[in-house]
Structure 1
Amino acid sequence: MRLTIERMGYGADGIAHTDEGKTVFVAGGVVGDVVDAELTSDGPSFSRARATNIIEPSGMRVTPPCPFVGVCGGCPWGALDRETQLHAKEENLRSALQRIGHFTPEEINDLVQPIRYTKDAWGYRNKVELGVHSENGRLRLGMHGIDPDQIIKVDRCPLFESTASKAIKAVTGALSYLGNSRDLNLERVGIRASRRTKALEVALWTPTGGFPRAHVARVLDDAVKPTSVVRVLTKGDRAARRVEKNELLAGQGSWTERIGEETMRISAPSFFQVNTAAAELLIELVVDALKPGPDDVALDLYCGAGTFTLPLARRCSWVAAVESYGPAVRDLRRNIERAGLDNVDAIGGDAVREFPGDDADVLVVDPPRAGLAAEAIELIAGTSARDVAYVSCDPATLARDLAHFREDGTFKATAITPVDLFPQTYHCETVVHLSRA
């Protein structure tokens, strides 16, 4: 088929239509390309295809600094210019609000604010994860491909923090050397780097069992001079793997980052936004939406290690912060103590089961990609909060939840602001300001 890519969908593929009007998701094409494509699947309502030849390249196509764009899974939009990426992310959010949230175009135009972004389109990631593959007794490490079974050997990643650009090659070389003489039983390897604190952590994910701790720590220290080397011990089936222990091999035992006014320590299993500068935009939008005052009580649900908890505690009389993931709860308590704050109740447990109560002035919620459970929306609606800041990483579940809030009638959206935390990808964060109706 010869197809013209009309727009970028919420995914790696461009979207085109056949002469008969059928939607085709095209891998390897960007908006504006005219391509020859071959079908990879043909369903009743849409098809999937792969671009085999670019007949007329789009004027929005650029030459990326990475040769693995389209092969590696880290930068699926890397061949698309930044301005077009930002426009596509806004449009994907608007589309989800209309299709799933049932907002009218007029409502969307009133609510959706211009997308916020930072200047770094490359070199913004403070973390990369390397996949591991063992074949014929030889250990291979690299980036995950678009094909999940593919491991792509790289010396550097243009998305990763530029001040630590040599770390990937050094770590993969050291671990490959070690893995060829003994079984490290590695599952994956995480590298975190901060240009602000100069911290560099290498995290080795392995099952429980024996491990050459001292030898691995010594070789990695020679190769990359990390500030921390840890081993994350896991247990259970791959589909339900859980963290048993975060074991110190060398250095500080955690990674340090400065974000906004705070310096936070994050353990390897804990979530932290991979784009520190853009995460500061999230904090700014949350604080602007809530306008917390010195007499206010705040609730922070799905709070992680405290990205929003700490700035709220600086501005409010009291913060109740809820997080279910054990390593993040420990990081949260440590960060509260390090910050010298005594007005935070750090609660470990599920946000619904451990809901702190209905006495609140402001509330922030940053749920996982699945969004909010119906029970959580009911509990939030039952609080006395005047304003809610909803931080979302998925436009579809956000649109669904906003529709539920509107049906409940307690809160209404007053501003919806996309934030480009992940340049070169289709992912986008969104901060919604909900005010009491």
Structure 2
Amino acid sequence: MTSVRPDDQPPELAELDLLDEIGPLGDCLADFEDGRINVFGGIPGERVVARIVRYRRRRKRMVSGLVHEVIEASPHRVPAPCQYFGACTGCQWQHVSYSHQLVLKRGYVERNVSEYPALSSSDIEPCIPAPSLYGYRNHARFTIRREGSPGFVNRITRRFVQTDECMLMAPGINRLADDLKGRAQETSQLSIRYGINTDDWLIQPKLKSKDIALESGQSHYTEELLGHTFRIASPSFFQVNTEQAERLAELVAETLELSGRESVVDAYAGVGTFAILLAGSAKRIITIEESAAAIRDAASNASGIENVEFIERKTEDVLDSMEARPDAVILDPPRSGCHPTVLEALIRLAPERTVYVSCDPEALARDLDVLVRGGFSIQSVRPIDMFPQTHHVETVALLGRI
């Protein structure tokens, strides 16, 4: 049950000094009453007047702040271009200059890594910028209200914000959403996935209204990366930034420096992006993925590539029973990080090179600590910005054996 202050009551305001630290949701932090609260819309070091929002989540009392007025502005503050910024909390940092967004993202990775003594000497490289700051997302999840119009829900107030467009979405997604406006009453949630390089799309769920001319309910769509066509089923994971996904794949290849003689394990492989793009640089690639839909996609995507093997099982089960030592391992786990058994197996197998791709610096630091204490050394840590205007950051770490 969630409750917030009704609109007809005057807002509760408080003057706050924003701390230097960024919280895990991308908000600033500030001392307030007897604790510390998240404050949306600020920049570290600013003094602001914030609207205080008190609410309950999962029977727990919560307090957050929304910047109402800036008293002392950061030099990194810029006008947010989106008319919905603040009402919609999907973007956290439109008001932050892009150069400073990169500094904040590197700092967030560094702060998490530095919490572990075994990682204290690790050097965090500058964050690789994204070429497109808006219009990059290939996947949108909309909330649909009764009148059939798409929008998003503010994560603090839980209020619905109807939107005519989202500036982060690829133009093709905004076009499809506009075609569905006022016609999608039959569902409360709508997912649109779009092939930026193919103009292919997938809309779920299937919409049965005769007023909707668009095809929906597709089982999959296609996208192109670095000259390869990838089939992506509705349940399968795929990076939301197609343009930067190509740079990520190139970065993994550059980091591994394969010679063509190596045996490689691609763990948590999804639709096979890394394995397929690296197949020409390795002797053999073993691809591990527990999702049946994703492994079917991967096998289809690798049609004609003979040195890629697919295993549909949990990564921890496969690595735990693996006896032959691979030359290199790619880890690209979900946000929660690697299963402890995966880390134990890696320590036992001791591959020469391990590349860990992570979307959560906290989970990455936790897992790197285990691996370093188990005999690995960190050779590089490179953040890459897959999500401009948000606090999210991808990180590519290279580990070797001591």
What's the TM-score once normalised by structure 1's chain length? 0.80
Q: What residue ranges of structure 2 are gaps of 5+ in the alignment?
A: 1-13, 56-61
Map of 1:299 onto structure 2: 265
Map of 1:145 onto structure 2: 154
Q: Secondary structure at the match of 2:190?
A: strand
Aligned counterpart in structure 1 of residue 126 of structure 2, from 91, 114, 134:
114
Q: Which amino acid aligns with 2:251?
A: L
Tell me, in whole angstroms, the C-alpha distance in 1 between the residues paired with 2:298 and 2:153.
30
Aligned counterpart in structure 2 of residue 315 of structure 1, from 281, 289, 304:
281
- Once the two structures are overlaid, the 10-residue window that deviates more, 85-94 or 382-391, is 382-391
**What is the CA deviation profile of residues 261-311 of structure 1, one whole-angstrom value per residue up to 9, with x for unaligned ones?**
321111122110000121122212211221122221110100000111102
Instruction: Give how far 1:149 is off.
Output: 4.1
Map of 2:38 onto structure 1: 25
Tell me, in whole angstroms, the C-alpha distance in 2 between the residues paired with 1:187 and 1:334.
32
Map of 1:238 onto structure 2: none
Tell me, in whole angstroms, the C-alpha distance in 2 between the residues paired with 1:38 and 1:168.
32
Q: Which amino acid aligns with 2:69?
A: N
- Aligned CA RMSD, in angstroms, stands at 2.6
Q: Secondary structure at the match of 1:328?
A: helix
Map of 1:389 onto structure 2: 355
Q: Secondary structure at the match of 1:173?
A: coil
Q: What residue ranges of structure 1 are gaps of 5+ in the alignment?
A: 206-210, 231-247
Tell me, in whole angstroms, the C-alpha distance in 1 between the residues paired with 2:118 and 2:63.
26
Tell me, in whole angstroms, the C-alpha distance in 2 between the residues paired with 1:149 and 1:273.
27
User: 2:131–2:244: 8 Å Cα contact kept in structure 1?
Assistant: no
* CA distance 1:408–1:87, shift in 2 (3 Å): same
Where do 1:336-375 residues align within 5 Å?
A: 336-337=302-303, 340-355=304-319, 357=322, 358-375=324-341
Tell me, in whole angstroms, the C-alpha distance in 2 between the residues paired with 1:366 and 1:6.
32
**What is the CA deviation profile of residues 339-396 of structure 1, one whole-angstrom value per residue up to 9, with x for unaligned ones?**
x212211111111113372331111010011111221001112225210000001011
Q: Secondary structure at the match of 1:372?
A: coil
User: 1:304–1:323: 8 Å Cα contact kept in structure 2?
Assistant: yes
1:14 maps to 2:28: yes
Aligned counterpart in structure 1 of residue 372 of structure 2, from 392, 402, 406:
406
Instruction: Give how far 1:187 is off.
Output: 4.6
Instruction: Give how far 1:147 is off.
Output: 3.9
Q: Which amino acid aligns with 1:173?
A: G
Aligned counterpart in structure 1 of residue 140 of structure 2, from 121, 124, 128:
128
Q: How many residues are aligned here?
A: 380
What's the TM-score once normalised by structure 2's chain length? 0.87
Tell me, in whole angstroms, the C-alpha distance in 1 between the residues paired with 2:118 and 2:87.
36
Tell me, in whole angstroms, the C-alpha distance in 2 between the residues paired with 1:131 and 1:428.
25
Tell me, in whole angstroms, the C-alpha distance in 1 between the residues paired with 2:40 and 2:325.
50
1:325 maps to 2:291: yes
**What is the CA deviation profile of residues 209-239 of structure 1, one whole-angstrom value per residue up to 9, with x for unaligned ones?**
xx84xx55x7233xxxx6xx32xxxxxxxxx
Map of 1:219 onto structure 2: 212
In percent, how many aligned pairs have the same letter? 28
Tell me, in whole angstroms, the C-alpha distance in 2 between the residues paired with 1:386 and 1:297.
11
**What is the CA deviation profile of residues 300-345 of structure 1, one whole-angstrom value per residue up to 9, with x for unaligned ones?**
10000011110222211211111111211111111112xx212211
